[in-house]
A and B are shown apart, each in its own frame.
Chain A
């Protein structure tokens, strides 16, 4: 027992230098401070228990020494207990000082702001320990899981970023820049698809895509806007309801377009472009939204009549006319398809596919050979609103400027009514 006692004495002694040197514990993070405080409280509790035991033995020794026929044994016991208890009391004092320093026995730490919401255990004057151990435990658990969750989230985000925004890694891994010169080497002898690819591989930036498009479809007006600028312009677009007379509306157009329209893309900073507007006079106005701004990743598309105006005219809005509503639905699916197969060329394919709709009101359905057909669902007569997009990317796209009259001769414009399309498929 003595050995145990001496061990019990020794151990706090060894511990003391560690904890004694923790005058700088204030520089540690709150959870560690709380942990240390709890440890010390536990030690203090053990010391107190030891002291109580020692006191019992002292009493026992006194009792035995009060008995007759005793030797020096009780005196020895008494002496030993005395020393051990004194030692315990000393330990207790030092731990008490440490606890005081760390703010356990007073409220000094509570006044400090950076405690992460963790409160130091408080020993009240009447001896009750308000330890908030449960909070520490929860905080510890939360901290651990938060670290894990953050790690997982970061990994997931990096994967997605690599998948959907490969061009952002250009500077880092140089993959896309590496393949470009390789493709350019294999020019002459390849199939038309590859030659188209190598041309398209030039279109890695927004301005390149738009410039190429302007060459290919000159009769469609392409404009770019920042997101907020477009919303302002949309609200100011003259709608059919606002037109009072031909001349006054023309003037209005003139003035408003001078004031608001920034002009072709050179006027808008390329890295801020979030909206592309395709205007085919008298046929459609299409709004394509890019996310993030300045990239070549489309995320929404919507068709409108060129006469429509108002704040609902944006990439996620819906036209008031059935024909454009149907096309918008179809275009959204086409967008997802293009993103799915060739995400880096998605914008180019999407815009070219949209431009094929300039013959919306003149191309007959490839199946029934008529222009108008009654759509059962919306009970309205519609022109062919479905244009196939599945093979669009594989068809050789001529780089010659395409006017609307030449489109027919290229033999690739196929269009279907809603009813005819579903029968085809």
Chain B
């Protein structure tokens, strides 16, 4: 499947994201000839274990994430970052989990926004909001290059695209920039051939970054 990079918005120190930035970014896509196609939405859920007896808490993974992706409506992805585990399951696993009552959903985040076509590139710009509020927590962007599936072969192309994109965004003098962190896919047992599991891992990494940056802001405030 075509490979993609998930970028996240890194606000400058001392600033936060707001919907104005999101609008500017969307306009930026259109200035580089992106054609708006439709909407997209992904959800990410933090699970916490339901400890019944006096079990040792450390046995249970702390950051157990579940992700549903728009391109795979019948699948659900689990990631345990600490142990570098990613798992693709059928979407019915969510009902199973509810029935088993071993893990409970703690926090759910929604990524949603618009999708753009730019020749052989497909871009998605989205806001990060908690499932039950409209508080903008972050901005993510997906850059997908459709003709290739290999991460290695596409690296140069994606880097150049990122340069072009950063250049376009910087013209708008926004308080922040997009960053891309490439997780070590090999540690998760994933190959060079791109798949939705790669996407799930990227989102998990993005979440970790988001949480870290939020905590940094909070600690700065404090």
Which residues in A have some Cβ–Cβ distance to B below 8 Å?
240, 243-246, 281-283, 305-307, 319, 321-324, 361-362, 370-372, 374-375, 378-383
Q: Complex formed: what's the CA distance from A243 to B195 in Å?
A: 9
Task: Check A321 against B120 for contact (C-beta < 8 Å).
Answer: yes
Interface size on B, residues (CB 8 A): 33
Contact with A along B178-222 (1 / 0, CB 8 A): 000000000000111101110000000000000000000000000
Q: Kindly state whether residue B14 has any CB partner on chain A within 8 Å.
A: no
**With A246-B195, A381-B121 as contacts: A370 and B160 at CB distance below 8 Å:** yes
* B33 near A246: Cβ-Cβ < 8 Å: no
Could you show 26 A-B contacts with beta carbons less than 8 Å apart? Answer: A240-B2, A240-B146, A243-B1, A243-B195, A244-B72, A245-B196, A281-B150, A283-B148, A283-B150, A283-B153, A305-B148, A307-B1, A307-B149, A321-B120, A321-B146, A322-B120, A362-B153, A370-B160, A371-B157, A371-B160, A372-B157, A372-B164, A375-B119, A379-B119, A381-B120, A381-B164
Tell me whether A382 and B150 are in contact (CB under 8 A). Answer: no
**Cβ-based interface call for B88 (8 A):** yes
The answer to whether B157 touches A383, judged by C-beta atoms less than 8 angstroms apart, is: yes
Interface pair A323/B33, CB less than 8 Å apart = no
CB contacts between A and B, total, < 8 Å: 84
- Asked if B61 is an interface residue, CB under 8 A from chain A, the answer is no
Q: Whole-angstrom distance from the CB of A417 to the nearest CB of chain B?
A: 12
Q: Which 9 pairs show the lowest CB-CB distances between chains A and B?
A: A380-B119, A282-B150, A379-B33, A305-B147, A321-B147, A246-B195, A372-B160, A371-B160, A282-B153
Instruction: Please pick, from A243, A361, A375, A380, the residue contacting B157 in the complex, using a CB distance under 8 A.
Output: A361
CB neighbours (8 Å) of B2 from chain A are 240, 307
Complex: chain B residue closest to A305, CB-CB: B147
Q: Is the interface of A mostly helix, strand, loop or mixed?
A: loop
Q: B119 to chain A: which residues have CB within 8 Å?
A: 322, 375, 378-382
CB closest residue in chain A, given B121: A381
- Flag if A380 contacts B33 (CB, 8 Å): yes
CB atoms of B118 and A323 under 8 A apart: no
Measured between C-beta atoms, what is the minimum distance from B71 to chain A in Å? 10
For window 101-139 of B, CB contacts with A under 8 Å fall at 118-121
Cβ of B72 to closest chain A Cβ, rounded Å = 8
- Residues on B with C-beta less than 8 A from A379 are 33, 35, 118-119
Tell whether A381 pairs with B118 under 8 Å between CB atoms, given A245-B75, A246-B195, A371-B160: yes
Determine the distance from Cα of A246 to Cα of B192 in the docked complex, in whole angstroms: 11
Residues of A within 8 A of B121 (CB): 380-381
Nearest A residue to B72 by beta-carbon distance?
A244
Inter-subunit contact A361/B164 (CB<8 Å): no
